[in-house]
Structures are given as C-alpha cells and as structure tokens.
Structure 1
Amino acid sequence: MAVQHVAQQLLHLCDIIPDSVRRIPDFDFTFKRAPGKWSKKEILGHLVDSASNNHQRFVRGRVENVPTIAYDGDAWVSVQQYQEQDRELILQLWETYNRHIAAIVKVISDDDLLKCCKYGDGTVLPLQFLIEDYLHHMEHHLKQIVGAY
C-alpha cells in the first residue's frame, strides 16, 4: 500500500467518521461490555493516543536515529480518563490529529520511508510499515465504534 493511499484514506475517514460517532447514543457510547474492556468512547480516546504516538514515530523517525517510541495503551486510557471526557472534544482531537498526520505522510520521501523506529520490546520497524499499520489499527478500532462505514 502506498503511503499516498494512507494519507487519502485518513482524510476520507476524517470526513465520514465524526458524524457517525455523533449519532451513537450516549449509553451505547459509554457502555463497557465487561470489566477491563474499553467503551466506544475509550476506544476513540485510544485512537487519539495512537495518533499522538504515531505522530512522534512519523516525525522523530525521520530526524533521529532509530528512536524508541512505545506506550502502554491501557495505562494511557486510564490516566486520561476518557470515559469522563467530553465526546466532542475527543472527536475533534482525533479528527484534527489525523488530518495533520495525513499532511505529514503525504510528504515523506521514499528514502525516509526506509528509516526506522524501535518499540519498547526492541522491535525495529521501517516508517513505511508503521504508516500502513497505523491505518489498519485505526480502521480496526473504528469498526468497533461505528461498525461498517
């Protein structure tokens, strides 16, 4: 998958997802299926965290020599208390962050796509893979929030 396609898909999702999220009734948006599981609202917050960390990868991966960028998704969701946050604020942050990431991805050179980042477990991956994986991860979670789109 070309990163240009990733950028286009990110913008497409930013165009269509917010209205779908706004239509989810509050009860459904905040409902937790089981203890230890995230609500749809928390999943959206997790996608903000993912955008934040991947933004770091897509920028620092180009200007630093194999930076280590990792985070504990459960801990991030917990300490930020997304369940208590305003839905519209989380949604606007998600949309704005992803529009910014799309702009970054559009201008990454082929040479920079070969540069790498390291996860906390020591895994080293090229930006090309990380960019494509970011979109797949987002689409997986968006389907949990809004279903098919």
Structure 2
Amino acid sequence: MNKRPEQNEYAPYYSDYISLIPEGDIEQILKLQIIETTKLLANLSDQRGIFRYETGKWSIKEVIGHIVDTERIMGYRLLTIARGDSVAMPGYDENAYILQADFNQQPMEELLETLSAVRQSTLYLLKGLKEEDWVRWGNANGFEVTVRAIAFIIAGHEIHHRKILAERYFGSKDFPSA
C-alpha cells in the first residue's frame, strides 16, 4: 500500500505520527523501521535499560514495552476492521499498562525479541490484506479510522518514540556510559 491516508481517516491526535512517515510502501517502511530500531537498542544492558531521563518518565525498557503494547492494540484494531467487524473498540490507558506490565524486570534481549516478533506479526497481517481491506472503516477510541491509517499510525508511533529515545534518553548528560 503506497497511498497515505487522508486526514479524515484518523483522529487528529495521530496527525503528528503520520507526518513522520516518508513516502513509500508502508509495509516496506515498517520492515526497515524495525531493523533501525533494534540496531539502536541492541547494545543496551539491562542496567541502561532502566534509565529515565527525568523523574516520573518511563524507562527505556518501558518505552520499548509501550511500543510493543501499542502495536499489539493497533494490530488488533487493524484486524478487526479489516475483517469487517463493526464493533467500537475502546481506548486504553498507556500509563496503567506500563505499571501493570513491569517491563523493567524483563531482560532487554527478551523485550527486543518481542518487539521484533510483534512487528513480524503485523507485517504478515498486512501482507494478507486484500486491496479493499485497506480502506475499510471502523471505530477505535471514539474515532472513525481506516485500516490504512492504522498501519501508518503504527509506523509513526515507532518513529516518534525512537526520536524521543535518541534525543531525551541517549542525548541526556546523565545517560550511563556502557
């Protein structure tokens, strides 16, 4: 799928995410993205993974866990809408999910393997879509959205958090050295 979603295909909140996506095939973009993200995070120790750039902010491991949780939720939404189910899907409290998951206790290696596995699942889901599935409409978190928009949101969400990791975490004067 090469066509970007129109602004009316998603909630205004997602505009910033979608604007981060370069032109091109979204499946290929998602495939290349996960390689870049795992390279960025591959050499982090568990100790560095619990770094927070500021009190009250998520740790690096929690950011990774949040990316995973969000992609799983978006993947479910994408599947539900693509299959023609008209159920309105609820939103979720990302902070409550972080607290419940306890990502800081998970080994960094497992978090990265999970991130890659979830992305592979998303890619196989997208690969199996028919052309007409991409433009199906559904309701998630009280907003109308298309399958195509959700795929772009997944990609933009990852880029958004990768930028935050690079700027606020790895760019912090307090970031622990290897």
Report the TM-score when normalising by structure 2. Answer: 0.73
Higher helix share: 1
Give a deviation string over 1:105-126, Cα, whole Å, max 9, x none.
Answer: 1332232122223233x11111
- 2:101 maps to a residue whose letter is Q
Partner of 1:96: 117
**Shift in Å, 1:42:** 0.7
Alignment map for 1:22-41 (pairs within 5 Å): 22-41=42-61
Q: Percent identity?
A: 21
Give a deviation string over 1:46-79, Cα, whole Å, max 9, x none.
Answer: 0110111011012111221144142211111110
Alignment map for 1:1-149 (pairs within 5 Å): 2=2, 5-63=25-83, 64-120=85-141, 122-146=142-166
Q: Matched residues in 2 for 1:82 and 1:127: separation? A: 29
Report the TM-score when normalising by structure 1. Answer: 0.85
- Unpaired runs of 5+ in structure 2? 4-23, 168-178
The structure with more radius of gyration: 2
Q: Matched residues in 2 for 1:49 and 1:68: separation? A: 15
- Unpaired runs of 5+ in structure 1? none
